[in-house]
């Protein structure tokens, strides 16, 4: 029933329709960005007990930034040596 009052208000005040559209678009964008970062980025930890050292899974050859322009990622020699010793 409350939604019916909202849509009636939009019918009466048609100038609010773009505002509701922009606010809805911003909310969907913020939600989708947060879900993207939660699922794909290695610096976001959800389950601390399942993986106590998540930084071990970070690939040094892959960019962790949202946007990187004209940047090459090279492996770090010291890190590769440590990984070989630890295996």
Domain boundaries along the sequence of the chain: 1-40, 48-87
Q: How far out from the chain centre does Cα 59 lie?
A: 18
**Mean pLDDT within 31-45:** 83
Contact 16, 9 (CB under 8 A): yes
Spatial CA neighbour of 80 closest among 59, 55, 52: 59
Q: To the nearest 10°, the Cα dihedral for 40, 44, 46, 49?
A: 110
Residue 41 has pLDDT above 70, yes or no: yes
pLDDT for res 38: 84
The pTM score is 0.52
Q: Look at residue 60 in the predicted model and tell me its pLDDT.
A: 67
Q: Alpha-carbon distance 58 to 62, whole Å? A: 8
pLDDT for 2 equals 60
Residue 66 has pLDDT above 90, yes or no: no
pLDDT tier, 30 (very low <50, low <70, confident <90, very high otherwise): very high
Q: How many residues are listed for the chain in this entry?
A: 87
């Amino acid at each position: 029933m409350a939604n019916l009052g909202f849509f009636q208000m939009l019918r009466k005040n048609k100038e609010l329709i773009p505002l509701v559209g922009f606010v809805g678009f911003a909310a969907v964008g913020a939600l989708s960005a947060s879900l993207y970062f939660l699922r794909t980025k290695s610096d976001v930890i959800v389950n601390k007990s399942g993986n106590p050292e998540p930084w071990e899974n970070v690939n040094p050859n892959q960019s962790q930034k949202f946007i990187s322009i004209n940047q090459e990622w090279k492996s770090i020699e010291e890190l590769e040596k440590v990984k070989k010793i630890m295996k």
